[in-house]
């Protein structure tokens, strides 16, 4: 047995309050919940409200109410990223002291013109005495003692299997604090997963490409990364991911049982027809007892209509 398999399971669902819960986000909530409960684990909810301009008033309450309507009850207190500034700042200071950060003044257009992978244009600048720029994390030519962390990142995704991602080819040095002063998702998610002792991250495959950067951050911070599992995302007729920004229709909380039934089927779980009109507790009980990661499809697809 490895050391990590002794650790008690801690999973989480981490919605951004950019709109109410829709079918796509229910999938991430349900899959992370079932994976945790099937292993007698804890299941936490973290509200990723670190981007006020993108936040929709009332969305946090709507999401939490929706989770409760579906009987997806979380453990402990909810963590709000909007209250975590000091933890994020401390981590940035730590990374800076280690010589891993630099200010960047490039525009989005300049980065896009370079092919989307940041070419390291601003690397020669130091953090001291600069301001008004974004902060980027060095991902190559790392100072000692971090050199051993360089190179492609490999991990075993518990759903989609072996992955190898090379940050140098996909994003290059990435932003950890934005030009407008807001902390970047990549930083916040890792700082919080460490603080909450998260052992398993089950989420949508739209975040699969972000995983290597997060793993690198865990390692640079001297923490071991959680296990990752990426579920297929639900798409609309145009093949686009259902998302709050795309205006995906909110879940009808008065049909919570039907929503759970559809979500279980979407996740490849062989829930019997007889449970089609079952209550949420009965569906969740079945889901926990029969949860099978191996049945989860790997490709995105359109959900069956309600």
Q: Find residue 228's DSSP bridge partners.
A: 201
Burial class (CB in 10 A: 0-12, 13-18, 19+), 3: exposed
CB of 17 to ligand GLU, least distance (A): 9
Q: Mind giving me the DSSP string for 230-247? A: EEPPBB-TTSPBP-TTTT
Among 56, 207, 221, 288, binds ligand GLU (CB under 6 A): 207
Which is nearer to ligand GLU, 203 or 262 (by Cβ)? 203
Question: For ligand GLU, which stretch binds (CB under 6 A), given 9-17, 106-114, 137-145, 161-169?
Answer: 9-17
Among 203, 227, 230, 262, binds ligand GLU (CB under 6 A): 203
Q: Is 189 in the site for ligand GLU (CB under 6 A)?
A: yes
Three-class DSSP category at 289: helix
Question: For ligand GLU, which stretch binds (CB under 6 A), given 10-18, 61-69, 108-116, 246-254?
Answer: 10-18
CB of 14 to ligand GLU, least distance (A): 4
Q: Is 303 in the site for ligand GLU (CB under 6 A)?
A: no
CB burial of 64-93 (b: ≥16 within 10 Å; e: otherwise) equals bebbebbbbebeeeebebeebeebbeebbe
Query: Could you give phi then psi for residue 248, rounded to 5 degrees?
Result: -55, 140
Question: For ligand GLU, which stretch binds (CB under 6 A), given 11-19, 120-128, 254-262, 278-286?
Answer: 11-19
Helix (H) or strand (E) holding 212: helix 211-220
Q: Is 208 in the site for ligand GLU (CB under 6 A)?
A: no
Which is nearer to ligand GLU, 14 or 27 (by Cβ)? 14
Q: Is 100 in the site for ligand GLU (CB under 6 A)?
A: no
Cβ contacts of 212 within 8 Å, gap of 6 or more: 152, 153, 155, 165, 166, 167, 170
Among 11, 15, 232, 303, binds ligand GLU (CB under 6 A): 15
Q: Is 20 in the site for ligand GLU (CB under 6 A)?
A: no
Q: Is 48 in the site for ligand GLU (CB under 6 A)?
A: yes
**In the chain, which ranges are E strands?**
10-13, 42-47, 79-80, 101-104, 134-137, 153-157, 161-165, 174-177, 200-204, 227-231
> What are the residues binding ligand GLU (CB under 6 A)?
14-16, 48, 189, 203, 207
């Amino acid at each position: 047995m490895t050391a990590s398999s002794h650790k008690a399971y801690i999973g989480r669902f981490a919605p951004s309050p950019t709109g109410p819960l829709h079918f796509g986000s229910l999938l991430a909530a349900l899959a992370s919940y079932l994976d945790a409960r099937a292993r007698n684990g804890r299941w936490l909810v973290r509200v990723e409200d670190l981007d006020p301009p993108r936040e929709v008033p009332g969305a946090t309450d709507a999401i939490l109410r929706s989770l409760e309507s579906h009987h997806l009850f979380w453990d402990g207190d909810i963590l709000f990223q909007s209250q975590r500034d000091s933890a994020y700042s401390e981590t940035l200071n730590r990374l800076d002291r280690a010589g891993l950060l630099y200010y960047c003044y490039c525009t989005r257009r300049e980065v896009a013109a370079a092919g989307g992978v940041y070419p390291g244009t601003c690397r020669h600048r130091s953090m001291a005495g600069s301001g008004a720029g974004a902060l980027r994390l060095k991902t190559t030519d790392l100072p000692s003692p971090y050199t051993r962390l360089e190179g492609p990142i490999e991990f075993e995704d518990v759903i989609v299997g072996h992955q190898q991602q090379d940050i140098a080819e996909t994003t290059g040095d990435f932003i950890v604090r934005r030009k407008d002063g807001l902390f970047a998702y990549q930083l916040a998610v890792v700082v919080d997963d460490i603080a909450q002792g998260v052992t398993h991250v089950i989420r949508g495959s739209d975040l699969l490409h972000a995983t290597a950067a997060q793993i690198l951050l865990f390692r640079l911070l001297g923490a071991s990364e959680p296990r990752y599992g990426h579920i297929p995302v639900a798409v609309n007729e145009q093949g686009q991911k259902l998302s709050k920004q795309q205006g995906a229709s909110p879940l009808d909380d008065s049909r919570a049982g039907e929503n759970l039934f559809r979500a279980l089927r979407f996740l490849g779980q062989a829930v019997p027809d007889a449970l089609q009109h079952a209550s949420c507790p009965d569906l969740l009980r079945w889901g926990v007892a029969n949860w099978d990661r191996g049945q989860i499809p790997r490709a995105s697809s359109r959900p069956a209509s309600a």
